Amino acid sequence: MKKPCGVRIAECGKKSLQRLQRLTLRNPRSVIRNFLIFFSAVIIAIWLFLPKPPLLDGISFSQSIRDRNGELLRVTLTSDQKFRIWTPLPEIAPELVDATLQYEDKYFARHPGVNPFALARSGFGLVRGGPRTGASTITMQVARLRFHLQTRTPFGKLRQIVRALELERHYSKAEILEAYLNLAPYGRNIEGIGAASQIYFGKAPAHLTRPESVSLSVIPQSPTRRALHADRDNRSLNVAQGNWYDRTSVDDKSPVREFRARAQTERTFFAPHFVQQVLEMEGSGRCADRTVRAGLASERCVRAALVATTLDLEKQQLLERRIADYIRANRNRGFQNAAAMLVDVRNMDVLAQVGSADFFNAQIEGQVDGTRSPRSPGSTLKPFVYALAMDQGLIHPLSILADAPRSFGDYNPENFDRDFLGPIRACDALARSRNLPAVELASQLANPTLYEFLRGAGVALPRSEPLYGLALPLGGAEIKMEDLVRLYAALADNGELRPLRRKKSDPIQTYGRRVLTPEAAFLALEMLNVPRPEIGYVDSSNVAPVFWKTGTSHGFHDAWSVAVFSHYVLAVWIGNFDGKPNPAFVGRAAAAPLLFQMIDALRASWPEPVEAHRPPPNANLKRVEFCAVSGDLPGKNCTHRIEGWFIPGISPIKTCDVHQEVLIDVATGLRVPVDDGTRLLRREVYEFWPSDLLKLFERAGLPRRSPPPFLPGTETELTARSGNPPKIISPAEGNASLLDTSGEIPLRAKADADVREIYWFANRSFIGKSQAADMFSWKSSRGSYQLIALDDHGRFSSCNVIVH
C-alpha cells in the first residue's frame, strides 16, 4: 500500500538528519569551518551590496557673507530656519576635533560604524535595569541626524545601525566626521561647528582655543540645556566641561579648567543694506548640490555657502560712525537720515555702502536703501553737461558763457540764488553751479544729448526725452546713488564706464564702455577741483586734491555731495525717505561737510601718497596761455594771461579779438579809423565785446573799457572795415524752418561793442530796428525769407528762413 506524501517527506527528512548527525560526529571541525566560511561570505556579500546613502545631498547650508578681508558680515538662515555654515574638516581646529572624539567616540577610527562592545554594555545595563549608557558612535549620530531617525525604539535603533553601516561602507572616516561636525546640534537653531563658533565666540572654527573647543564639544549631547547664553551663567555647560576633563583623564589642576564659556552679546549683522543686495544677487542662496567628496564640499556648494564680497568692514564702520555723529550733531537742523557709498575706481569695488542712518529705526524708514532709491540729484549731473560740451567742441574750460536770464520755450530756469553773474568762464560756472549756463549748454548738445548719454550709461529714465526737457541737468529726473557713483567713476577712469563689483567672484573689467573721451573726462574733473567748504580743516595745501560737486533738489528734498579723491569715489546724500522737505537740505551746507569729514577720516586711517592729477597718457591735450579776459588765445594786445587746457582740433579756439588797439583823437577823445596826419592821435587798447555780453556786464555791475564812438563825419566805408559784422543768433544757426504764423518771431544778433543799433531786413525790405543788445519782434507771413542784420557801421550778416 502506497504511503501518503507527507509521511514520505517526513521519513526523507529524518534520514537526512541522521546522515548529517553521522557526518558531524565523524568531522565536527570541518562543519564548523564551513559554517563560518558560509556566514562570513554572507556578511561580506551584505557589506558589499549595502546601498549608498546620501551624506549631505539636499542639506541646506547658511550663506556666510564676508568682507574682502574675511570678516563675517552676516550668516543667513537655511531653508529649515537653522544657522548652519558649511565648514570643511581642514578648516576646523584640531583641538575641537580631538575634544569631540574624546567625548563622543574615542574609538571612532577603529570601529566599522557600530561599537559592538558599547552596544553589549548598553544592552546588558538595560536588561539589569541599571542606568542607561550611550552606545551611539559618531557614525550612528550622523545617521540619526541625516535621516531624522527616531532611535528610542528597538526598531529605530536597528535602522540607525543599518544606516551607520551603509555610511561606513561608502564614505571615509574623514567624510563622516566632517558631516557630523556640520550637522551636530549646538543649541537653539544652531547646527554645525561653523555656525556655533561664529555665533558663540565670533570667530572661525580654525581659530578656536582648547577651552573653547572643550566647551563646544560637550553641547551636542544635550543641546537644549547646554546652549550658550549671554545673559546666564551656563551652569549646565560648565558642569559638562568638568565631566569632559574627568572622562578624558586630563589633569584636574590644568588652568584650562577654569574657563567659563559665555556667548558673545551681539549677533553679527554688519552692512545690512549691502548684504541684502548681495543676497538678492545670489538668489535664494540654496545649494542644489551638497555632495561631499574626499572631505571637501563640491565647488558649487562652496560658492553658494561662502560669499566673499568687496566690502571693507573697517571703512564701512567708519562711514557709519561719521553719519551717526553728524546726524546727532545736526538734529536741531532737522537732519534725520543720510546715505553714503564708497567705491574704488581701480576695480569698481564697493568698499562701503550705508543705506540709511539707522537700519533698525522705523521712524526714518531705516530699512530703505538710500543708495538704490531714485532721488533727484540736483546739480550733480552738471559736470557731464560740460564734459559733453567739450567733447562736441562747444567750449573749453576758459570759454566765456552767459549767466543771464533766458527763456527756453515755456521753460524759464533761474539760479539757486535767483541772481545772475553775467559773462562767466565755463570752469567758474560749473564750480559755482550756475544753472543758466548749464541749461544753455544742454540745449546745444547733440549726438548725444544729456538724456541719450544717461540712457546709454544705463541710468533708468522711464519717461521720454521731451517730458524731461532742459530741466534734466538741474535734477529734473530721479537717479540712484549707485548710478551717480558709476558716472563719476567714469570721469576718474578716462571716460570709461564699468559696472560696480560687490562680490570678489565678479570679473574685473579691464576696459569699460567709453562714454566720454579721455580728454573731456580729464578736463571736466579738473574743473571740479575747487576749494572745500570751511569745516574746521586748517591746512589743505599738503593733501591730495578733491574733485567734488554738490546738488540740491528742487523744493529742498535732497542734498547731495559727490567727490573723486585719490582712487576713490564717495557720494553722500542727506534727506528724508518720505520726501519731507527741509530748507536746510542744501548740498554745500548739508552734504558737503559730511563728505569732507569722511574724506579726512579715510585719509587719516589709510594714508596714501599724494598724487597730482595728470592727463591720461597720449591724450590729445595741450596746455597754453589764454587771454584771462576773453578766454581766447592771447593777441598782442592781451596783457592779462592765464594758463589752461584745450583739445586741439575740437575746442573752439581763436585768437582774442576783444582787445583791439584803436586811434584816439587827443583833442576830442573820439575814435578815428585811420591816421591821415591831420590830427594829434594816440593809440589805446579797448575791449570790443559782443553787444549781448556787454549788456550782461552792465547788468552785473562790471563795467568794461568800451571804445569811444567815431569822430563825427567819419565815412561809413572806413568804419565798416574796422570791426566784426553782427552775428544772427535768433533764429539759431541751422534753424531754417520756423513754425509761427500767429505770433511774432524773435530776432537777435550779436554785435561789436561800438554798435548802438541793428537794422533788420527781410528780402531786402526794411522791417525795423532795435538796440544792439535787444530783441526785435518780427510779425511775418508764410514764405521764404533772407534775413539781414545791418549795424550802424555798415557791417552786416544774413541767414535764410522759411515761415510755415
Residues 6+ apart with CB under 8 A from 81: 189
Sheet with 757-762, side-by-side order of all strands: 737-738, 796-803, 783-791, 757-762, 765-771
- pLDDT value, residue 750: 84
Residue whose cell numbers read 507527507: 6
Where is 774: in which H helix or E strand?
none
Q: What is the per-residue pLDDT for 28?
A: 61
Angle (nearest 5°) at CA 710 between 707 and 714: 155
Number of H helices and E strands in the chain, helices first, is 24, 29
Instruction: Enumerate the β-bridge partners of residue 687.
Output: 659
Q: Which residue has the cell 536770464?
A: 405
H, E, C per residue of 584-644: CCCHHHHHHHHHHHHHHHHHHHCCCCCCCCCCCCCCCCEEEEEECCCCCECCCCCCCEEEE
Please enumerate in sequence order all residues whose Cβ is within 8 A of that of 30, keeping only pairs 6 or more positions apart, or say none.
none
- Contacts by 701-708 with C-beta closer than 8 Å and gap 24+? 702/422, 702/423, 704/753, 706/753, 706/754, 707/660, 707/662, 707/671, 707/753, 707/754, 708/664, 708/669, 708/670, 708/671
| Regions in the chain scoring below 70 on pLDDT | 1-50, 118, 120, 122-134, 229-267, 284-304, 534-543, 714-723, 733-743
Quickly list DSSP for 479-529. B-HHHHHHHHHHHHTTTEE---B-BTTSPP-SS-EESS-HHHHHHHHHTT-
CA distance 38 to 41: 5
Joined grid coordinates for residue 92: 576646523
Percent helix, percent strand, percent coil in the chain, to nearest 5? 35, 20, 45
What is the grid cell recorded at 342? 564708497
Residue whose cell numbers read 529605530: 156
Q: How many whole angstroms separate alpha carbon 114 and alpha carbon 124?
A: 16
Distances (CA, A) of 604 to 240, 596, 598, 614: 49, 12, 10, 24
Euclidean distance between CA atoms 88 and 290, whole angstroms: 12
CB neighbourhood size of 426 (10 A) = 25
- State the number of CA atoms in the 13 A half-sphere of 541 facing the CB: 2
**Structure confidence by residue, pLDDT tens digits, 502-520:** 999 999 888 889 999 999 9
For residue 554, give the nearest of 443, 448, 728, 411 by alpha carbon: 411
- If DSSP codes are grouped into helix, strand and coil, which group holds residue 471? helix
CB 238 within 8 A of CB 229: no
Helix (H) or strand (E) holding 247: helix 235-247
Peptide bond before 725: cis, by omega within 30 degrees of 0? Answer: no
Neighbouring C-beta atoms of residue 527, cutoff 10 Å? 24
Q: Which three cell numbers stand for residue 298?
A: 563640491
* Separation between Cα atoms, residue 126 and residue 121, nearest integer Å: 9
Burial 684-698 (b: 16+ CB within 10 A, else e): bbbbbbbbbbbbbbe
Other Cβ atoms closer than 10 A to 371 = 24
Q: What does the CA dihedral 395, 591, 311, 61 come to, rounded to 10 degrees?
A: -120
Cα–Cα distance between 495 and 484 in angstroms, integer?
14
Distance CA 161, CA 701 (A): 99
Amino acid sitting at position 251: D
136: its cell numbers: 551611539
pLDDT in tens, 7-37: 444 565 455 556 545 555 556 666 566 555 6
Burial class (CB in 10 A: 0-12, 13-18, 19+), 254: exposed
pTM (2 decimals)?
0.80
How far from the centroid of its chain's Cα atoms is residue 563's Cα?
A: 14
Start-to-end CA span in the chain (Å): 135
Q: Which helix (H) or strand (E) holds 664?
A: strand 659-665
Q: Could you give the dihedral angle defined by the CA atoms of residues 172, 176, 182 and 187, in that order, rounded to the nearest 10 degrees?
A: -160
**Residues in CB range of 752: below 8 A, 6 or more apart:** 688, 689, 690, 691, 723, 724, 726, 791, 793, 795
What is d(CA 427, CA 527) in angstroms, rounded to the nearest whole number?
A: 5
* Exposure string over 577-593, b if 16+ CB within 10 A, otherwise e: beeeebeebbbbebbbb
Residue 518 identity (one-letter amino acid): P
How far, in Å, CA of 106 to CA of 221, rounded? 15
Q: Could you tell me the three cell numbers for 597?
A: 569729514
Query: What pLDDT score does 691 carry?
Result: 75
**Residue 607: count of CB within 10 angstroms of its CB:** 9
Place of cell 569732507: 596
